[in-house]
Amino acid sequence: MSTIAHRHADVDGFNVFYREAGRAGAPKLLLLHGFPSSSHMFRDLIPLLADRFHLVAPDLPGFGQSDLPARDTFAYTFDNLANVIDRFTEVIGFDRYAVYVFDYGAPTGFRLALKHPERITGIVSQNGNAYVEGLSDGWNPIQAYWREPSQANRDALRALLTKETTIWQYTHGVSDTASVSPDGYSLDDYYMNRPGAHDIQLDLFGDYQSNVALYPAFQQYFRTHQPPFLAVWGKHDPFFLPAGAEAFRRDLPNADVRFFDTGHFALETHAADIAAAIAGFLIR
């Protein structure tokens, strides 16, 4: 077992918590989590890769143990999440790295790739979308808020922030729900219920439309730079459909696309399989 260090980085006055493992000098892999989780979601994956890679998994701003500034002092947009993580990589010396993107981690990581294509050695997308056809009907309430950002439409999204919905995100599409540890969704629910956290998440739901607007730019980046690309997809994801994984091949003909018999949080059930796929991909 590799030791996982739990650290804090001062990113221009913003505290970013992160997990780190592996040998300095080994190929670097940046792990970016999604909603409503934190770097805790990588707790099983990191030890499986730490003998070959230098891994770093930060908590995004407003998530996990990273700072949760008030909304009147920090605008919760995906541009700002990416800006903090971009500076974070510079502060810790991650100059060239592969990136693992999941859910919210995808628009964050793809922004880093757009800004610094020379830094990206490869991309692993685990249910991290960049194509309209990957969006399921589960996005309809959020898209209604984009079209009409009324208080009523905003309040309707609070149903997505309940513990019951979080548990459903972890267990939907999983053949044996007993294989899903309650630790992940229980911790997510704890963080979700901190003062002010719900409105922060509603802000990000509203700003997610900025990611969809950037899909053409992300796709142009793929076509232009042809980064080595691996998609590892829980095929029963209720939010990001398998068509979104297949679509990467349109712009990245050499993309390696693999599906697993699980849901959105694929690492909860298939960490060993995904680790093996990543190791083979990045070593190649």
The C-alpha torsion from 23 through 10 and 183 to 35, rounded to 10°, is -110
pLDDT at res. 239: 97
- Whether 251 shows a pLDDT value over 80: the answer reads yes
Average per-residue pLDDT for the chain: 97
Quote the CA–CA distance of 249 and 103 in Å, as a whole number.
19
Q: What average pLDDT does this structure show over 60-89?
A: 98
pLDDT at res. 284: 81
Burial of 26 (0-12, 13-18, 19+ CB in 10 A): middle
Q: Cis peptide leading into 216, omega within 30 of 0?
A: no
Quote the CA–CA distance of 220 and 142 in Å, as a whole number.
26
- Whether 2 shows a pLDDT value over 90: the answer reads no
Q: Within 10 A of 103 (CB to CB), how many other CB atoms are there?
A: 24
Q: Within 10 A of 140 (CB to CB), how many other CB atoms are there?
A: 9
Identify any residues that bridge with 258 across adjacent strands, giving them in sequence order: 232
Give CA separation, 267 vs 44, 137, 155, 270, in Å: 8, 23, 31, 5
Q: What is the pLDDT of residues 189-238, one digit of tens each?
A: 999 999 999 999 999 999 999 999 999 999 999 999 999 999 999 999 99
Place of tokens 């696309």: 257
Quote the CA–CA distance of 106 and 222 in Å, as a whole number.
13
- Whether 1 shows a pLDDT value over 80: the answer reads no
Q: Which sequence positions are flagged as catalytic?
A: 264
Q: What average pLDDT does this structure show over 136-159?
A: 98
pTM of the model: 0.98
pLDDT at res. 58: 99
Quote the CA–CA distance of 51 and 41 in Å, as a whole number.
19
Q: What is the pLDDT of residues 149-197, one digit of tens each?
A: 999 999 999 999 999 999 999 999 999 999 999 999 999 999 999 999 9
Strand segments, DSSP code E, in 186-234 are 229-234
Give CA separation, 10 vs 19, 66, 76, in Å: 14, 10, 19
The DSSP 8-state label assigned to residue 266 in this structure reads: T
Q: How confident is the model at residue 74 (pLDDT cuts 50, 70, 90)?
A: very high
Quote the CA–CA distance of 166 and 259 in Å, as a whole number.
23
Instruction: Give the pair of three-digit tokens for residue 279.
Output: 């190791």
Quote the CA–CA distance of 79 and 83 in Å, as a whole number.
6
pLDDT at res. 63: 98
Q: How confident is the model at residue 283 (pLDDT cuts 50, 70, 90)?
A: confident
Quote the CA–CA distance of 245 and 232 in Å, as a whole number.
8
- The amino acid sitting at 163 is K
Q: What average pLDDT does this structure show over 25-31?
A: 97
Are 157 and 205 in contact, with CB atoms under 8 Å apart? yes
Q: What average pLDDT does this structure show over 125-150?
A: 98
Whole-number percent of the chain with pLDDT over 90: 98
CATH of segment(s) 5-283: 3.40.50.1820
